[in-house]
Amino acid sequence: MSDQYQTITRTGPGTPMGELMRQYWIPVGPSTEFVRDGAPTRIMLLGEKLIAFRDSSGRMGVMDHRCPHRCASLFYGRNEEGGLRCVYHGWKYDADGNCVDMANIPERQHFKDKVHTKAYLTAERTGVVWVYMGDRAQVPELPPFEASFQPKEGVGLRFIQRRCNWLQAVEGDLDTSHVGLLHFGAAKASAGLDNSRLDLVVNRAPEYKVTETPYGLCYGAHRPSPTVPGGTYWRVAHFLYPFWIMPPVASLEKNIMVRAFIPMDDEHCMFVGFESQAYLRPQDDRVRVQGAYIRDVLQPNTTDWFGRYRMTAEAENDYLIDRDDQREKSYTGIEGIHAQDQCVTESMGNIVDRSFENLAPSDIAVARNRRMLITAAKAFAETGKRPPSMDNPALYGAIRGGYYTTTEAGDWLQLHREAVEKLRQAPAPTPATVDA
């Protein structure tokens, strides 16, 4: 892998991309997973081994898993009476990482005020625990994604681990041309499809518009609409620093969602999805099981560093591929859109060898996004220059992806923004059929 791609695939402490990511708030997990005085949870995040726990008062702590005394893991600690106590010698730490007791030392010899473990700032919103791993004195606000503010209908959450580098996972969602093939390759134009599906499968080779924005990147895939005379069918997606994406999984009026692929380490990432329940309500065959859709059934969680949110369909069982189904009915033989995505991105390898690639015009958004990230990560590392969204997360509040058909002419990005603003003021639509 070339040095330029290592700049954005490597996210551990001290790496250009890792340090940039640390300046943004990062989801850790559902709030319901962390109970008062409950067992600590191992969290792998940006290459760091951390422990998450909720103390007796309900405060969340996210800290280095090593006790600063003799480096025994605090995973085995006792969560009790407002802190986490190491079982080796009884040293105890509060949610801020301050040492509050040294049980094996006489009181007159205590030096608690001089001992701290690395702990990160936490916050909770929309049923999710967030962590800020940066070092800025003025901490930014949590990102105001539209999908995060659905108090009446509620917000649907999904957490699914993917065993590959974060960037190739993001690029899977930044690539819209695969949808008509990987997910709907078996669909025929004469099969009684609704208009949105018909627009997608009649012409599986769209053309593209791409532009960088203050929050990241926006692209629109467009093709003539077979259902609206003189119309153009658009699929608009956004990449938002540092790892968020809004793909067009539903029509523009219903696509109130955002997802992220958050690096656990350089070879594992966590898919985190927020969606409005009113707009992206699951259909009958997508009933939730263990926090995922029935087609995305998860294995029971374990306590190891990569033990959370692993899909049942995985590389070890070939993602439950059915070759008979592939020949006779399905394009892939793999059931479930997320499992299909998981299969192709994990099959590239833990970190794809991009020297083997042959990018095509359909990959223009992927190529532009890589170039943008490399430039931003290097600029932040070398000069401290920050992407605008780092200081102004409010930029995220008015953004929405989605697909739609229009007969209007003009600047595509301006037309899209106007359409989103108009829809944000409209009544809630009926439930959506989703693509992913």
Domains of the chain: 25-132 (2.102.10.10), 146-424 (3.90.380)
DSSP string across 288-330: EETTEEGGGPBPPP-SSTT-SS-BSS-GGGGGG--HHHHHHT-
Q: How far apart are CA 182 and CA 285, in angstroms?
A: 20
Q: What is the model's pLDDT at position 196?
A: 61
Q: Please name the amino acid found at residue 416.
A: H
pTM for the full predicted model:
0.91
Q: How far apart are CA 20 and CA 23, in angstroms?
A: 6
* pLDDT at residue 6 tops 80: yes
Q: Which two tokens stand for residue 51?
A: 């422990």
Task: Give the mean model confidence (pLDDT) for residues 17-42.
Answer: 97
* pLDDT at residue 289 tops 80: no
Q: What is the model's pLDDT at position 295?
A: 46
pLDDT per position as a tens digit, 93-109: 999 999 999 999 999 99
State the pLDDT confidence band at 283, using cuts at 50, 70 and 90: very low
HSE, CB side, 13 Å, CA atoms: give it for residue 156.
22
Q: How far apart are CA 111 and CA 261, in angstroms?
A: 41
* pLDDT at residue 432 tops 60: no
Say which range, 30-44, 184-198, 204-218, 325-339, has the weakest mean pLDDT.
184-198
Q: What is the model's pLDDT at position 205?
A: 84
Q: What is the model's pLDDT at position 287?
A: 37
Q: How far apart are CA 131 and CA 436, in angstroms?
A: 27
pLDDT per position as a tens digit, 102-134: 999 999 999 999 999 999 999 999 889 999 999
State the pLDDT confidence band at 199, using cuts at 50, 70 and 90: low
Q: What is the model's pLDDT at position 206?
A: 87
Q: Please name the amino acid found at residue 274.
A: F
pLDDT per position as a tens digit, 374-413: 999 999 999 999 999 999 999 999 899 999 999 998 899 9
State the pLDDT confidence band at 225, using cuts at 50, 70 and 90: confident
State the pLDDT confidence band at 278, using cuts at 50, 70 and 90: low
For the chain, percent of residues with pLDDT exceeding 70: 89
Say which range, 64-78, 226-240, 278-292, has the weakest mean pLDDT.
278-292
Q: What is the model's pLDDT at position 192?
A: 56
Query: Locate tokens 């559902």: which residue?
Result: 30
